[in-house]
Amino acid sequence: MGFVTSTSISPATSAPAINRPNVVAVGTIVWLGSEVMFFAGLFAIYFTLKSTSGALWTAETAHLNIPYAAVNTTILVLSSVTCQMGVFAAERLQPRRSGGLFQFWKWGMVEWFALSYIMGAIFVSGQVLEYATLVSEGIAFDSNAYGSAFYLTTGFHALHVTGGLIAFLLVIGRAFAVKTFGHKEATSAIVVSYYWHFVDVVWIGLFAVIYIIR
């Protein structure tokens, strides 16, 4: 996974032109840098509220189902693997599978991204179910400081995952819409993978802070 670059040969000199990083890829990375600051602010809010309400945190975190959250986290992390497999297929300009449906080693970008989408959707659905369980146990957004911090941090992350799911659908749709799958389509797949890997890494941090560190 890296920058998509272009190289041209001058007919007069036959010397390669200077390689420049793809503008879309660079712009995506810069934007993700701003997202890092956004989530850093959410982490700061969580730790600040926790430092002033230690007893509350001890009582409320007892309601968390850590094994359930760990399984949900594993699904999201594995979706990064399938997403990257889709990127590899896109880089070799293979939009769709060249063999049977169960011959995953012959899958193209569409199949790998579709699997990533399903796994991401399972993760979001799992979070919604967890929210419903916690609300039934009296932990709501407006119940106390812990509820506000928990739903604020995890909720914003869920919105980012949902945005990634929409991006998967757009890239898959584009692969079917174009007559020839070229470097522009491959670049779209690559920048979506940047975003997806980012939300996965952020969630690993959130999982450690919210579920593991007491």
Q: According to the model, what pLDDT value does residue 21 have? A: 61
What is the reported pLDDT for 3?
44
Where do the domains of the chain lie? Answer: 23-212
> What is the tens place of the pLDDT at every residue in 17-69?
445 567 777 777 888 888 888 899 999 999 999 998 889 999 999 999 999 99
The C-alpha atoms of residue 83 and residue 25 are separated, in whole angstroms, by 16
pLDDT value for 31: 80
Burial (CB count <10 Å: 0-12, 13-18, 19+), residue 122: middle
Q: Which residues of the chain have pLDDT under 50?
A: 1-18
Q: What is the pTM of this model?
A: 0.86
Task: Answer whether 10's CB lies under 8 Å from 117's CB.
Answer: no
In the block, tokens 């169960």 appear at 102
Helices (H), 103-144: 109-136
Class of domain 23-212 as given by CATH: mainly alpha
Q: What is the pLDDT of residue 14?
A: 46
How many CA atoms, within 13 angstroms, populate the side-chain half-sphere of residue 101? Answer: 2
Contacts 24+ apart (CB under 8 A), 95-102: 95/175, 95/181, 95/185, 96/175
Distant-in-sequence, close-in-space partners of 9: CB < 8 Å, separation ≥ 6: 15, 16, 17
* pLDDT computed for residue 20 by the predictor: 58
